[in-house]
Chains A and B, each alone.
Chain A
Amino acid sequence: MSRIGVFICHCGLNIAGTIEVEKVVKLVSDYPEVVYATDYMYMCSDPGQDMIKEMVKEKKLDGVVVAACSPTMHETTFRNAIASVGLNPYRGEIANIREQCSWVHQNHKEIATEKAVKIIEATIEKLKLDMPLIPLSVPVTKRALVIGGGIAGIQASLDIADSGYEVILVEKNQSIGGHMLQLSETFPTLDCPQCIATPKMVQVGQHPKIKLLAFSEVEEVSGYVGNFQVKIRRKASFVDWDKCTGCGLCMEKCPVRVPSEFNEFLSKRKAIYTLFPQAVPNKPVIDSNNCLYFTKGKCRVCEKNCSLKAINFEQKDSLVEEKVGAIIVATGYDLMNKAEVGEYGYGKYKDVIDGMQLERLLAPAGPTEGIPYRPSDGKIPKEVVFIQCVGSRDPEHYYPYCSKICCMYTVKQAMLYKHAVPDGQAYVFYMDIRCNGKGYEEFLQRGIEEDRILYLRGRVSKIFKDGDKIKVWGADTLTGRKIEISADLVVLAMAIIPSKGAKKLAEKLRLATDDYGFLTEAHPKLRPVESLTAGYFLAGAAQAPKDIPETVAQASGAASKVDSLFSKDELYHEPIIANVDEEVCVGCGNCVNICAYDAVELDLKTKKARVNPVICEGCGACSAACPSGAMQQNNFSKRQIFEMVNIFTV
Chain B
Amino acid sequence: MKTEISIKNIKSKFLDKVEELSEENLYACYQCGKCSAGCPSISEMDISPGEIIRLVQLGQEKEVLDSKTIWICASCFTCVTRCPKGVDLAKVMEALRQITLRKNVDYVSPWSIPKEVLSQVPQIALVSCLRKFSA
* A and B in contact, CB less than 8 Å: yes
Q: Provided the pairs A431-B30, A473-B37, A477-B32 are in contact, do residues A459 and B48 lie with their beta carbons within 8 angstroms?
A: no
A residues 357-399 in Cβ contact with B at 8 Å: 393-398
Q: State A639–B38 Cα separation when bound (angstroms).
A: 69
Looking at the assembled complex, report how far the CB atom of B57 sits from the nearest CB atom of chain A, in whole angstroms: 14
Check A475–B37 contact: CB distance below 8 A. Answer: yes
* Complex interface: chain A residues within 8 A of B100 (CB): none
Q: When the two chains form their complex, are residues A475 and B33 in contact, meaning their CB atoms are under 8 A apart?
A: yes
A482–B51 alpha-carbon span in the complex (Å): 12
Which of B10-18, B82-90, B107-115, B126-134 sits within the interface?
A: B82-90
Given A461-B78, A475-B48, A477-B51: A482 and B36 interface contact (C-beta under 8 Å): yes
Interface centre among B34, B39, B78 (most CB of A within 10 A): B34
Distance between B79 CB and nearest chain A CB, rounded to angstroms = 8
With both chains docked as a complex, state the minimum distance between the C-beta of B42 and any C-beta of chain A, in angstroms. Answer: 5
Report B-chain residues with C-beta under 8 Å of the C-beta of A393. 30, 84
Contact residues, B42-88 vs A (CB, 8 A): 42-43, 47-48, 50-51, 78, 82-86
Q: In the docked arrangement, what's the CA distance between A462 and B85, Å?
A: 17
Question: A431 CA to B82 CA in the complex, in Å?
Answer: 15
A477 touches B86 (CB 8 A): no
A473-496, CB under 8 A of B: which get 1 and which 0?
A: 111110011110000000000000
Contacts of A481 in B (CB 8 A): 36, 48
Chain B CB within 8 A of A343 CB: yes
Cβ contact within 8 Å between A482 and B32: no
Q: How far is the CB of B54 from chain A (nearest CB, A)?
A: 9
Scan residues 548-592 of chain A and give those whose CB is less than 8 A from a CB of chain B: none
User: A458, B84: Cβ atoms under 8 Å?
Assistant: no
Q: Given A458-B32, A459-B32, are A473 and B51 neighbors across the interface (CB < 8 Å)?
A: no
A461 touches B34 (CB 8 A): yes
Query: What residues on B are CB-neighbors of A475 within 8 Å?
Result: 32-37, 48, 50
**Nearest Cβ on chain B to A385's Cβ, whole angstroms:** 12
Say yes or no: is A200 at the interface (Cβ < 8 Å to chain B): no
The chain A residue with its CB closest to the CB of B80 is A396
Select A474's contact among B31, B33, B85, beta carbons within 8 Å. B33
Closest B residue by C-beta to A481:
B48
| Chain A positions within 8 Å of B43 at CB level | 482
A474–B37 CB distance below 8 A: yes
**Do A482 and B42 form a contact, CB below 8 Å, given A395-B85, A475-B36?**
yes
- How many residues in B have their beta carbons less than 8 Å from beta carbons of A? 22
A396 touches B39 (CB 8 A): no
Query: A457 contacts B33, CB within 8 Å?
Result: yes
Q: State whether A477 touches B82 (Cβ < 8 A).
A: no
Q: Kindly state whether residue A101 has any CB partner on chain B within 8 Å.
A: no
Closest to A476 in B: B33
Closest chain B CB from A397 CB (angstroms): 7
The reply to whether B37 and A458 contact each other, CB–CB distance below 8 Å, is: yes
User: In this complex, what residue of B is CB-closest to A482?
Assistant: B42
Partner of B38, one of A395, A462, A480: A462
Q: Is A160 an interface residue (CB 8 A)?
A: no
Task: Decide if B34 touches A395 in the complex (CB within 8 Å).
Answer: no
What CA separation (Å) do A156 and B39 show in the bound complex?
Answer: 50
A459 to B30, CA, bound (A): 11
A476 contact set on B, CB distance < 8 A: 33
Chain B residues, Cβ within 8 Å of A462 = 37-38
A483 contacts across to B, CB distance below 8 A: 37
Q: Which residues of A contact B31 (CB under 8 A)?
A: 477
Name the A residues within 8 Å of B34 (CB-CB).
Answer: 458-461, 475
Q: How far apart sit A397 and B86, CA to CA, in the bound complex (Å)?
A: 9
Alpha-carbon separation in the docked complex, A421 to B113 (Å): 57
Most buried by B among A457, A474, A475, A476: A475
Please name all residues of chain A whose beta carbon is closer than 8 Å to the beta carbon of B78 when the two chains form the complex: 461
Instruction: Report how far A474 CA is from B42 CA in the complex, Å.
Output: 12
Report whether B51 and A459 are in contact in the complex, using a CB–CB cutoff of 8 Å: no
Complex Cα distance, B83 from A583, in Å, reads 65
Chain A residue numbers with a CB within 8 Å of B35 are: 461, 475
Q: Are B86 and A482 in contact (CB-based, < 8 A)?
A: no
In the complex, what distance in Å separates the CA atom of A457 from the CA atom of B37?
11
CB-CB under 8 A from A482, the residues of chain B are 36-37, 39, 42-43, 48
Residues of A within 8 A of B32 (CB): 431, 458-459, 475, 477
Chain B residue numbers with a CB within 8 Å of A394 are: 84
Q: Inside 8 A of B38's CB, which chain A residues have their CB?
A: 343, 461-462, 473
Within 8 A of B (CB), among A271-314: none
Of residues 391 through 416 on chain A, the ones whose CB sits less than 8 Å from some CB of chain B are 393-398
Check A477 against B84 for contact (C-beta < 8 Å). no
CA–CA, A395 and B51, complex, Å: 21
Q: Which A residues are in CB contact (< 8 Å) with B48?
A: 475, 477, 480-482
Q: Which of B42, B43, B47, B82: most chain A CB closer than 10 A? A: B82
Of B42, B50, B83, B85, the residue contacting A477 (CB under 8 A) is: B50
Residues of B within 8 A of A480 (CB): 36, 47-48, 50-51
Q: Whole-angstrom distance between the alpha carbons of A394 and B38 in the complex?
A: 16
B51 x A343 contact (CB < 8 A): no
Kindly supply a per-residue 1/0 record for chain A positions 96-125, scoring 1 wherever the CB is within 8 Å of any chain B CB and 0 otherwise: 000000000000000000000000000000
Chain A contact residues, CB within 8 Å of chain B: 343, 393-398, 431, 457-462, 473-477, 480-483
- Residues on B lying within 8 angstroms of A by beta carbon are 30-39, 42-43, 47-48, 50-51, 78, 82-86
18 A-B contacts (beta carbon < 8 Å): A395-B86, A397-B84, A431-B30, A459-B32, A459-B33, A459-B34, A460-B37, A461-B34, A461-B35, A461-B39, A473-B38, A475-B34, A477-B31, A477-B33, A477-B51, A480-B47, A482-B39, A482-B48
The 9 closest A-B pairs by CB, nearest first: A461-B38, A475-B33, A458-B33, A461-B37, A394-B84, A475-B37, A459-B34, A396-B86, A477-B33
